[in-house]
Amino acid sequence: MTSVSKLLRRSETAVLAILIVVMIVIGVINPAFWQADNLFNLLRANVVIGIMALSVLTVMISGGIDVSFPAFAVAAMYLTVIAMNAMGYQGVVLPFIGATVIGLLCGLANAFFIHTFRMIPLIVTLGSASVVRGLLLGLVGTSIINIDRMPPSLIAFGSSTIEIGGSKLSLMIFIYLGIALLMWLFLTRTMAGRAIFAYGDDAESAKRVGFNTRRTVYLVYGLAGALAGFAGLLHASMIWLANPRDFVGYELDVIAAVVLGGASIFGGRGSVFGTILGVFMLTLIKNSLIIMRIDNTWQGVVVGCVIVIATALTAWRDRKALV
Amino acid sequence: MKARSMNKLTDLRRFVNRDNNILQLLIITAVIFLLMSALEPNKFLRYYNFESISFIFPELGIVAIAMMLAMLTGGIDLSVIGIANLAGILAGVFFTRLYPAAPEAGAAAELMRVIAGVVLALGVGLLAGTLNGLLIAKVRITPILATLGTGQIFTGLCMVLTGGPAIVGFPAWWGFIGNGKILGIAVPLVLFLVVVVAIAVMLTKTPFGLNLFLIGTNPRAAVFAGLRTERMVLYSYMLSGTLAALAGIVLSGRTNAAKSDYGTSYLLQAVLISVLGGTNPAGGKGTVLGVSIAVIALMLLASGFQMMRFSNHLIDFIWGGFLLLVMVINVLRNRGK
């Protein structure tokens, strides 16, 4: 009995309930929504945003906020593809390791500023995003690498699918779910993961009970950068081109998805499952406007309203918790 | 008695602190000015250069002051650019679709039309700011998230209204707001100076301004001291929204067009200038004078680099690097105390 009421009070349950209602409503408006092709496409749209959301989730649990991950993702993607073309390298594993390392290094730079100078994460990541994007576009290049110059190995990897009932499901879904599983294990089953929660709940207490806060900050932002770098290259291999101006405005969407999933911007609170649901909710709404016969220009308004309503509900929940 | 002497002490400390900050800013500005003059003496030191800066920087300066107002109470306003564009676009819709120029209308009627447009644009800003303020003060959504969401809504409304392309066809008087001159001084600069003086007086000489600083310094203490925190925060976002709309008017007046994605790079720059000008993003500290000097410093920097044919992207890099550098300097300086 108690476990049922506990389950009902979890924010994931609320998100899941809303999600089901929204899906039923969309399905009623246009039954084409339930076709396997549409659902598989929807899942595919979750992959890149989802991995980025896991990156932001980690930062948010630690009580910070990260708006630099789109810049890191684009830098990792573009630099890796350029390097592959320059060397004529055809492979998959090494490039993804390279992109992840580029993201990792950028993330560690964030951690350096945040920890050494005790600077506010929002300001640091605003600055580092501007620095990385400026350097990439100013020094490396502004031209899009189109499909004809994209490494075929990446394209082949990004377009690998399995067939289920005549419809093709992108295999990238399983990469996303695999990363999500690892992140869940890391955050809930390891001491380093619990340290992030403790740090986000109250940095000073975490320090006093003996957590190494320096290591936690570096771990959080390094991991966030690494995930962003990986997601960046994955994105390029899924859309078959590398655009150095890509991911503009992603920070808003991804932060919105993480908040939708029940994470608290004050830290110490958030879950991988909630984030997956939040990402699904956001992509569902964004991708279903057309299917609901609503003009696509309304997308920004709808997403904005969803953010405001979701954060208002969270604020209401947290206020009740205070009493 | 004790409270009063304490007050004096903190006043004095704040004053010294602020002057230090302003001194540092003035030095940075002077260094940039000398550096650019030395590197590009023929282009940088021309009257034309400073004149064109005086047309371009006020819109950014006004947005930065709006950002500072939100930061004073420990908040942030990420929707300023959305509000600015929405104000410009709604005015554009008003001029082109709702109330087009009558062919035989006289100058007085034209002037009335523009004044109506200005009132409409400022009203939209006030309304948008009120929405932000209500969400933050009453519903208690964190400012970052609330303004992130509303910013998305405002930009989204811009998309709905325009469908993507820019709105053109503003009346001539509207263009005067962005391109005209009064007594040889750029109108945007005049507007900026008016805003600077008005906000500076409001922050330093009125109870409202003092309340904002107190709320930002310690929100809990402010509540226990009986300040009407909710109302004050609401007012500060209303004001910030109205200022953002004013920046939108100047921007659309200067370019004679309004578009949903104008000035997106201004958001980062507004945060940067505000912080650079000595505003504490955690609240309780900030001056209009500091922000004004910071915006001029950065404009000199950008115009100098543009003359040296740096690409705009590298200028973005420099802005970001500058932000990090100044924050580090501030931290190191405060540590020394």
Flag whether pLDDT at B105 surpasses 80: no
Flag whether pLDDT at A93 surpasses 80: yes
Residues of B with Cβ-Cβ distance to A311 under 8 angstroms: 141-142, 145-146, 149
Interface test with B, best of A245, A286, A307, A314 (most B CBs within 10 A): A307
- Of A236, A243, A244, A198, whose CA–CA distance to A217 is shortest? A198
B320 min Cα distance to partner chain A (Å): 4
In A, minimum Cα distance to B155 occurs at: A300
B3 min Cα distance to partner chain A (Å): 31
Residue type, A62: S
Across B7-22, b (16+ Cβ under 10 Å) vs e yields eeeeeeeeeeebeebb
What are the angstrom distances between the C-alpha of B3 and each of B8, B10, B15, B220? 9, 11, 18, 18
Average pLDDT in the A252-268 region?
A: 86
Residues of B with Cβ-Cβ distance to A127 under 8 angstroms: 272, 320-321, 323-324, 327
- A307 vs A3, higher pLDDT: A307
Q: With an 8 Å Cβ cutoff, are A315 and B160 in contact?
A: no
Flag whether pLDDT at B11 surpasses 70: no
Q: With an 8 Å Cβ cutoff, are B271 and A126 in contact?
A: yes
Q: With an 8 Å Cβ cutoff, are A308 and B149 in contact?
A: yes
Task: Check the CA dihedral A42-A283-A68-B252 and report its sign.
Answer: positive
**Does A141 touch chain B if contact means CB atoms closer than 8 Å?**
no
**What confidence tier does A163 reach under pLDDT thresholds 50, 70, 90?**
confident
* Highest mean pLDDT (candidates A75-84, A295-304, B250-259): A75-84
Flag whether pLDDT at A9 surpasses 70: no
- B309 vs A39, higher pLDDT: A39
In B, minimum Cα distance to A128 occurs at: B320
Q: With an 8 Å Cβ cutoff, are A298 and B156 in contact?
A: yes
Could you read off the pLDDT of A196-226 as tens digits, one per residue? Answer: 999 998 888 888 988 889 999 999 999 999 9
* Highest mean pLDDT (candidates A69-73, B103-107, B171-175, B276-280): A69-73
**What confidence tier does B1 reach under pLDDT thresholds 50, 70, 90?**
very low
Interface test with B, best of A311, A317, A320 (most B CBs within 10 A): A311
Flag whether pLDDT at B15 surpasses 60: no
Q: Tell me the pLDDT of chain B averaged across its residues.
A: 84
Least confident of A304-313, B11-20, B247-256: B11-20
- What pLDDT does residue A185 have? 96
Average pLDDT in the B167-178 region?
A: 82
Could you read off the pLDDT of B142-153 as tens digits, one per residue? Answer: 888 889 889 989
B73 min Cα distance to partner chain A (Å): 16
Complex ipTM value = 0.80
Q: With an 8 Å Cβ cutoff, are B323 and A123 in contact?
A: yes
Using CB atoms within 10 A of its CB, is residue A21 exposed (0-12), middle (13-18) or buried (19+)?
A: exposed
Which among A130, A265, A299 is the nearest to B268, CB-wise? A130
- What pLDDT does residue B328 have? 85
Domain boundaries, given as residue ranges, for chain B: 40-336
- B262 vs A136, higher pLDDT: A136
**What confidence tier does B175 reach under pLDDT thresholds 50, 70, 90?**
confident
Interface test with A, best of B153, B271, B280 (most A CBs within 10 A): B153
* Highest mean pLDDT (candidates A97-111, A263-277, B88-102): A97-111
Average pLDDT in the A293-322 region?
A: 78
Flag whether pLDDT at A238 surpasses 50: yes
Flag whether pLDDT at B8 surpasses 60: no
Task: Kindly state the tokens that stand for B267.
Answer: 């958001």
* Highest mean pLDDT (candidates A269-283, B27-41, B204-218): A269-283
A316 min Cα distance to partner chain B (Å): 7
Dihedral angle, C-alpha A209, A214, A216, A222, nearest 10 °:
180
Q: Tell me the pLDDT of chain A averaged across its residues.
A: 89
Type and span of the H or E element at B218: none
Query: If contacts are CB pairs under 8 Å, which of residues 71-90 in chain A contact chain B?
Result: none
Cβ neighbours of residue A234 under 8 Å, at least 6 residues apart? A47, A48, A51, A96, A158, A172, A175
* CATH classification for the domain delimited by B40-336, as one of 1.10.238, 2.60.40, 1.10.20, 1.10.3470: 1.10.3470
- What pLDDT does residue A22 have? 87
Residues of B with Cβ-Cβ distance to A128 under 8 angstroms: 320, 324
**What confidence tier does B14 reach under pLDDT thresholds 50, 70, 90?**
low
**What confidence tier does A120 reach under pLDDT thresholds 50, 70, 90?**
confident
Task: Kindly state the tokens that stand for A278.
Answer: 């939040």
- What pLDDT does residue A43 have? 92
Q: With an 8 Å Cβ cutoff, are A311 and B146 in contact?
A: yes
Average pLDDT in the A180-194 region?
A: 94
Architecture of domain A12-322: Orthogonal Bundle (1.10)
**What confidence tier does A322 reach under pLDDT thresholds 50, 70, 90?**
very low
Cβ atoms within 10 Å of A11's Cβ, excluding its own: 22
- What pLDDT does residue A45 have? 92
Q: With an 8 Å Cβ cutoff, are B149 and A305 in contact?
A: yes
Average pLDDT in the A120-148 region?
A: 90
In this prediction, what percent of chain B has a pLDDT beyond 90? 24
Residues of B with Cβ-Cβ distance to A303 under 8 angstroms: 152, 156
In A, minimum Cα distance to B274 occurs at: A123
Query: What does residue B74 show for φ and ψ, rounded to 5 degrees?
Result: 85, 10
Interface test with B, best of A124, A254, A301, A318 (most B CBs within 10 A): A301
In this prediction, what percent of chain A has a pLDDT beyond 70? 95
- What pLDDT does residue B12 have? 54
- What pLDDT does residue B139 have? 86
Average pLDDT in the B253-266 region?
A: 81
Q: With an 8 Å Cβ cutoff, are B315 and A134 in contact?
A: yes
Domain boundaries, given as residue ranges, for chain A: 12-322
**What confidence tier does A44 reach under pLDDT thresholds 50, 70, 90?**
very high
Q: With an 8 Å Cβ cutoff, are B311 and A138 in contact?
A: yes
**What confidence tier does B16 reach under pLDDT thresholds 50, 70, 90?**
low
Residue type, A264: S
Helix, strand, or coil here: B324?
helix
- B272 vs B65, higher pLDDT: B65
